[in-house]
């Protein structure tokens, strides 16, 4: 949905290479001539010749004057490493798992759009290839729109993490062979413990905002070009109802828009955003909540979880039981991060409080109304 490097250690190591370097490329009478030769700056290494010369030092022997310059006897030194092969960093290999998951999600979303978002399993539906020949353009449009929205969401996380110097993986897209949506979205790994509250806030909120920038216009276009229908198996969130009232005032009361490629892509984008922005655990909303309230965020997350369990029992929303179980096993409370004591600035505090309204506007208590 996120091995600390030790900069001080690296700096000290680099300083040690400089301080401990020995550049002895010949005998003492050849020091000036050989000081310009190229040698490896390694501690105690030379070119293989015996090193001799004069070293200024403090001597305690009474036969020598204090502070005098005394000769140093030649001593054998290790052979030079100048001629040894240098280990070069290997080029990064192609992230095979990420690519394969991305291509698999393209396939499953294409299949979902082709069959018309039916609760069928890819490979077990006898009419799939017939639908490909007839509705391939619908499947392609849905696939491109969905992958653009999900990619924008994950790119928001990734770019923000890189900007703040927090290690993050490339996104792992989640294909689903059930052709209702074709995907569960995508996740990205991040070392969140290395982030402070400001960095965590920026990284967590960048994804949902980037996804909404595409999802809302795509949904609006789907509503504008869609055909009226008496009922649809796909419910709309509060934001969707507002958009429909503004974009299609011509619809008679009680009617909605039949599913089409852009409408369903925008619908899925709102569904993914609404779920991710719930202030729970390590969801995007959980990160934002922890960045806002720090160690007190557990009061919010536990209240939300208890409220969700109560709503499931009272309203009968048993389709959300699996999600509650998963979040419980993940851990309801947010793990500790760096510099917990440092609060957000006023601008981020106001933006964070406004972001808590995103799940209210985009979450769908009953996204599917299947018979």
Between these two residues, 59 and 136, which has the higher pLDDT value? 136
**What confidence tier does 47 reach under pLDDT thresholds 50, 70, 90?**
very low
For the whole model, what pTM was predicted?
A: 0.73
Listed range (137-151, 185-199, 347-361) with the worst mean pLDDT: 185-199
Quote the percentage of the chain above a pLDDT of 70: 74
pLDDT at position 228 is 93
Segment 76-91 mean pLDDT: 52
Q: Nearest-CA neighbor of 164 among 186, 187, 191, 126?
A: 191
* Strand-pair partners of 326: none
- DSSP annotation of 333: S
**What confidence tier does 128 reach under pLDDT thresholds 50, 70, 90?**
confident
Q: Could you report the per-residue pLDDT of 188-201, keeping only the tens digit for each?
A: 998 878 899 999 99
Neighbours of 312 (CB within 10 A): 17
pLDDT at position 85 is 53
**DSSP string for residues in 107-174:** HHHHHHHHHTS-S-BTTT-TTHHHHHHHHHHHHHHHHHHHHHHHHHHHHHHHHHHHHTT--BPPPEEE
Task: Report the distance separating Cα 232 and Cα 235, nearest Å.
Answer: 7
Neighbours of 67 (CB within 10 A): 9
**What confidence tier does 34 reach under pLDDT thresholds 50, 70, 90?**
very low
**What confidence tier does 341 reach under pLDDT thresholds 50, 70, 90?**
confident
b/e burial code for range 73-93 (CB count within 10 A of at least 16 → b)? eeeebeebeeeeeeeeeeeee
Question: In a 3-state reduction of DSSP, which class is residue 101?
Answer: helix
Segment 87-97 mean pLDDT: 66
Task: Report the distance separating Cα 126 and Cα 302, nearest Å.
Answer: 46
Query: Which two tokens mark 165?
Result: 């110097």
pLDDT at 13 over 80: no
pLDDT at position 44 is 41
183's enclosing H/E stretch is: strand 183-187
First to last CA, the chain: 32
Domains of the chain, residue spans: 7-75, 96-362
Mean pLDDT for all residues in the chain: 80
C-alpha neighbours within 13 Å on the C-beta side of residue 84: 10
Segment 55-79 mean pLDDT: 45
The β-bridge relationship of strands 228-229 and 256-257 is: antiparallel
Q: Could you report the per-residue pLDDT of 274-324, keeping only the tens digit for each?
A: 999 999 988 999 999 999 999 899 999 999 999 999 999 998 888 889 889
pLDDT at position 74 is 55
| Cβ atoms of residues 172 and 98 within 8 Å | yes
Query: Which two tokens mark 231?
Result: 């009922």
pLDDT at 4 over 90: no
Q: Nearest-CA neighbor of 317 among 368, 283, 269, 282?
A: 368
Segment 2-9 mean pLDDT: 38
Neighbours of 178 (CB within 10 A): 16
Degrees to nearest 5, angle at CA 213 with 205 and 348:
30
Query: Which two tokens mark 118?
Result: 């039916």
Place of tokens 């920026």: 202
pLDDT at position 234 is 93
pLDDT at 214 over 90: yes
């Amino acid at each position: 949905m996120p091995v600390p490097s030790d900069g001080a250690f690296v700096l000290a190591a680099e300083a040690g290479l400089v301080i401990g370097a020995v550049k002895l490329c010949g005998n003492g009478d050849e020091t000036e001539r050989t000081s310009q030769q190229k040698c490896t700056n390694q501690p105690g290494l030379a070119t293989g010749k015996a090193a001799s010369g004069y070293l200024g030092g403090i001597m305690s022997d009474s036969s020598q004057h204090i502070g005098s310059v005394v000769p140093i006897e030649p001593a054998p030194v290790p052979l030079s490493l100048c001629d040894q092969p240098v280990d070069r960093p290997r080029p990064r290999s192609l992230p095979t798992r990420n690519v394969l998951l991305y291509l698999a999600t393209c396939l499953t979303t294409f299949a979902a759009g082709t069959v018309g978002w039916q609760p069928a399993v890819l490979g077990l539906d006898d009419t799939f290839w017939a639908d490909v020949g007839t509705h391939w353009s619908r499947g392609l449009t849905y696939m491109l729109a969905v992958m653009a929205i999900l990619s924008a969401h994950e790119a928001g996380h990734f770019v923000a993490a890189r900007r703040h110097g927090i290690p993050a993986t490339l996104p792992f897209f989640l294909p689903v062979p059930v052709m209702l949506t074709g995907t569960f979205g995508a996740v990205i790994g991040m070392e969140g413990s290395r982030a402070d509250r400001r960095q965590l806030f920026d990284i967590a909120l960048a994804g949902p905002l980037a996804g909404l920038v595409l999802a809302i216009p795509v949904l609006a276009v789907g509503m504008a070009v869609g055909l009226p229908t008496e009922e649809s198996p796909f419910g709309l969130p509060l934001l969707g109802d507002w958009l429909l009232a503004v974009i299609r005032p011509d619809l008679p009361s009680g009617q909605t828009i039949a599913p089409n490629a852009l409408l369903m892509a925008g619908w899925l984008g709102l569904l993914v955003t609404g779920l991710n922005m719930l202030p729970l655990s390590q969801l995007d909303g959980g990160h934002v909540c922890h960045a806002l309230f720090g160690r007190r965020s557990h009061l919010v997350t536990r209240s939300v979880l208890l409220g969700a369990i109560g709503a499931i029992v009272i309203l009968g929303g048993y389709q959300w039981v699996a999600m509650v179980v998963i979040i419980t096993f993940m851990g309801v409370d947010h793990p500790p991060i760096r510099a917990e004591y440092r609060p957000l600035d006023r601008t981020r505090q106001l933006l964070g409080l406004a972001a808590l309204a995103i799940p209210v506007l985009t979450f769908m208590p009953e996204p599917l109304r299947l018979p």
